C-alpha cells in the first residue's frame, strides 16, 4: 500500500504542476507548459529502463506509470482545451528533440576522452541501450499521442462527451498498445523479467483511471467557463495533427491563380497528366472550351492594369457562377480561360458555352461601363480517347475562328474519336 500511495502522490504532484502551467498559458503563453512537458522525457526513459518497484500485481516503473502516462494525458488535456493545431506543435517538437539528442550522443562517441575519473568512467554500453530505448520510445510516443487524440474524439461521441469515460477508454487502449510495444525492446536492452509486462500494464490502466479523474476535475473546476468544442471529423483531426492540411493548403495555393482564384495553368497540366494516367473507358464525352476576353489589351491601355485585373476577376466570377458543379475552370494565361465539361454531348457543350458568353456580356463591365465579351472555341471528344492537350489544340483553332469571324461568339465542332 505504501508503494501505491507514493505513486498516487507522484501523480498528484505531476498533474498539479503541469495543469497549473497549462492554465497559466493565457497569461504567460503555452511555452512554459511545453518546455516542462518535454524536459522530463529522458528521465522517463531512464527510469523505465532501470528503476522498478514491486507491487502485488507485478513489477512496474514509476517513470513509465506516472511520468509517461501523465505526459500522454497532458497532451490530451491540451488538445481538449485548445485544438489539434496547437497540440501538434509539442508532439512534433518532442519527437524532433529526442531524435536530435540521440544523434548528438552518437557523434559524442567519436570523441577520444583525454581525462576519465576511475570512479565515474562513462558507461557507453548504457548510453547505447538508452539510445535504442529513446528512439523506440519517442516513436511510440508520437504514435500514442495521435492515436489517443483520435480515439478520444471517437469515444467522446459514444459516451456523449463524458470526458472521464472517453479519456479513460482511450488512454487504456493506447497505454495497452504502448506496453506491448515497448516491453520487447526493454527486455532486449535491460533484461527485465516478464512480470514487468503485466505489472506495468495493470499500473498503466490504473494511471489512466487516475489521470482521467484529474482531467475531469480540471475541466470542471479549473476551466469551467469554456464551451465544449463541437465534435470534429476524425479525418480533419488527423490531417491537422499530421500537417496534411498544411500540405494540401500549399498544394491548393500552388495550383490556384492568385488574381482570379480559379485553377491555374499548372493545375491544367496536372489534369492532363491525370487524364493520361487514368483514362476512363466508358465512352462518356468530354469537352474543352477556351474563352478569351475580347480586346483585353485595350482595357489595359484605356483604364490601366488595375482595371484590367478587375475585369479578369469579374469574368472568372461570371464563368464560375454559370458552369455546372464538377466543371473545371483554369486561367490558362493572360486573358484566356480553359474550361472542362464532362458528360455533355457536343451540342449541349455548345449551348453551355453560349450561356457563359451571354453571362459575361450581361454581368461584366469595365470601370468605364463598357461590357466585356468573350470569344470561345469548343472541341468535344469521347471520354478517355486521346489527350486533353489534343482537345486543347482543336479548341484553340476554333477560338481563332471565332476571333476572325468578329469575336463575341462561340465556334466549335466535335473532335473525331
The cell for 30 is 503555452
Domain residue spans of the chain: 2-109+124-247, 255-414
Mean pLDDT confidence for 218-227: 79
Q: Which of 31-40, 208-217, 282-291, 310-319 has the lowest mean pLDDT?
A: 282-291
* Backbone angles phi and psi of 331, in degrees to 5: -85, 110
**Roughly what angle, to the nearest 10 degrees, separates helices 244-254 and 234-241?**
80
Alpha helices in 218-364 (DSSP H): 234-241, 244-254, 265-277, 296-303, 305-322, 346-363
- Position 117 pLDDT exceeds 70: no
What's the pLDDT tens digit per position in 149-178? 999 999 988 887 788 899 999 999 999 999
What's the pLDDT tens digit per position in 241-272? 777 666 556 666 778 888 998 999 988 988 88
CA distances from 100 to 42, 96, 105 (A): 12, 6, 9
Instruction: Band the pLDDT of 417: cuts 50, 70, 90.
Output: very low
- Position 140 pLDDT exceeds 70: yes
pLDDT at 121: 67
Mean pLDDT of the chain: 86
Give the whole-number percent of the chain exceeding pLDDT 70: 88
Fold of the CATH domain 255-414: Alpha-Beta Plaits (3.30.70)
Mean pLDDT confidence for 47-51: 84
Instruction: Band the pLDDT of 114: cuts 50, 70, 90.
Output: low
Cell 527510469 sits at which residue?
47
pLDDT at 408: 95
pLDDT at 283: 63
273 vs 367, higher pLDDT: 367
How far is it, in rounded angstroms, from Cα 188 to Cα 185? 5
Nearest residue to 171 (alpha-carbon basis) of 135, 203, 204: 204
- Position 48 pLDDT exceeds 70: yes
Residue pair 196/58 in contact (Cβ under 8 Å)? The answer is yes
The cell for 35 is 518546455
- Position 357 pLDDT exceeds 90: yes
Determine the longest span between alpha carbons in the chain, in angstroms.
Answer: 97
pLDDT at 26: 85
pLDDT at 388: 81
Q: What angle do CA 199, 201, 204 make, to 5 degrees?
A: 110
pTM assigned to the model: 0.65
Amino acid at each position: 500500500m505504501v508503494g501505491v500511495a507514493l505513486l498516487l502522490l507522484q501523480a498528484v504532484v505531476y498533474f498539479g504542476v503541469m495543469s497549473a502551467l497549462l492554465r497559466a498559458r493565457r497569461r504567460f503563453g503555452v511555452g512554459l507548459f511545453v518546455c516542462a512537458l518535454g524536459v522530463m522525457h529522458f528521465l522517463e526513459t531512464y527510469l523505465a529502463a532501470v528503476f522498478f518497484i514491486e507491487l502485488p500485481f507485478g513489477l512496474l516503473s514509476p517513470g513509465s506509470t506516472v511520468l509517461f502516462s501523465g505526459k500522454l494525458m497532458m497532451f490530451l488535456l491540451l488538445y481538449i482545451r485548445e485544438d489539434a493545431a496547437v497540440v501538434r506543435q509539442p508532439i512534433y517538437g518532442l519527437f524532433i528533440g529526442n531524435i536530435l539528442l540521440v544523434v548528438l550522443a552518437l557523434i559524442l562517441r567519436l570523441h577520444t576522452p583525454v581525462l576519465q575519473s576511475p570512479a565515474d568512467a562513462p558507461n557507453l554500453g548504457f548510453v547505447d541501450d538508452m539510445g535504442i530505448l529513446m528512439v523506440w520510445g519517442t516513436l511510440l510516443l508520437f504514435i500514442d499521442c495521435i492515436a489517443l487524440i483520435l480515439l478520444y474524439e471517437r469515444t467522446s461521441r459514444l459516451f456523449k462527451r463524458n470526458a472521464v469515460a472517453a479519456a479513460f477508454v482511450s488512454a487504456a487502449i493506447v497505454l495497452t498498445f504502448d506496453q506491448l510495444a515497448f516491453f520487447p525492446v526493454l527486455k532486449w536492452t535491460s533484461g527485465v523479467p516478464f512480470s514487468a509486462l503485466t505489472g506495468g500494464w495493470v499500473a498503466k490502466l490504473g494511471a489512466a483511471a487516475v489521470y482521467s479523474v484529474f482531467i475531469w476535475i480540471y475541466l470542471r473546476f479549473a476551466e469551467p467557463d469554456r464551451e465544449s468544442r463541437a465534435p470534429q471529423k476524425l479525418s480533419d483531426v488527423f490531417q491537422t495533427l499530421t500537417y496534411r492540411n498544411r500540405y494540401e493548403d500549399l498544394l491548393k495555393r500552388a495550383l490556384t491563380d492568385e488574381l482570379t482564384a480559379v485553377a491555374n495553368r499548372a493545375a491544367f497540366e496536372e489534369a492532363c497528366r491525370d487524364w493520361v494516367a487514368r483514362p476512363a473507358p466508358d465512352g462518356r464525352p468530354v469537352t474543352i472550351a477556351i474563352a478569351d476576353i475580347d480586346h483585353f489589351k485595350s482595357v489595359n491601355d484605356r483604364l490601366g492594369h488595375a482595371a484590367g485585373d478587375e475585369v479578369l476577376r469579374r469574368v472568372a466570377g461570371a464563368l464560375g457562377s454559370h458552369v455546372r458543379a464538377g466543371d473545371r475552370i483554369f486561367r490558362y494565361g493572360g486573358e484566356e480561360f480553359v474550361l472542362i465539361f464532362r458528360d455533355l454531348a457536343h451540342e449541349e457543350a455548345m449551348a453551355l458555352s453560349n450561356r457563359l458568353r451571354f453571362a459575361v456580356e450581361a454581368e461584366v463591365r469595365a470601370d468605364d461601363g463598357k461590357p466585356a465579351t468573350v470569344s470561345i472555341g469548343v472541341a468535344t471528344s469521347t471520354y478517355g480517347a486521346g489527350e486533353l492537350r489534343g482537345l486543347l489544340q482543336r479548341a484553340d483553332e476554333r477560338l481563332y475562328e471565332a476571333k476572325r469571324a468578329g469575336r463575341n461568339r462561340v465556334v466549335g465542332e466535335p473532335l473525331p474519336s
